[in-house]
Structure 1
Amino acid sequence: MTGKTGQCRLKRLRADVGVFELHFVNADGEKYACQMTACVTGIDLVFAVNNRSVLVSSPFTADKLRPVLDIAVADSPIPLI
């Protein structure tokens, strides 16, 4: 995924247990990686990182997934947004 000021790439680490990494790169080329977990609760998905979680219901749209990216970059030591 590419935005106005950088990009994000998903890397699956342990898909069987719902653990993955998001790799961010800002406009200056600085990098940040965030490990997250995801689990299915019925038809919803719960994403968690750094003691924060977000429940996302279907249909899954970019607007509904925005809070997932927000918690992923909340503790980033580099400016991403």
Structure 2
Amino acid sequence: MYKKEFRKSENRILFNKGDLVLVRNKLRTKKMEDHFKDKAIILERLYGEIYKIKFENGKESRRHESQLKLFRRG
């Protein structure tokens, strides 16, 4: 019962292949540093909420959707 109610109110963003995203800064050491730092491109959705991404420097990684934020230009 509770699971169904939670799923109704859940705000999930499904990313598409080619979307530009910001990636959460894991090594944030100072209070005033940005939470989301690096830009990356979604390559594919692997399984569940895990995405394969490619950073601007060419490195590839897997990240959970909670660590990604859609980059909006403008």
TM range (shorter): 0.3 to 0.5
For CA contacts below 8 A with separation 6 or more, give which structure has more relative contact order: 2
Of structures 1 and 2, the larger Rg is shown by 2
TM-score, structure 1 as length reference: 0.34
TM-score, structure 2 as length reference: 0.36
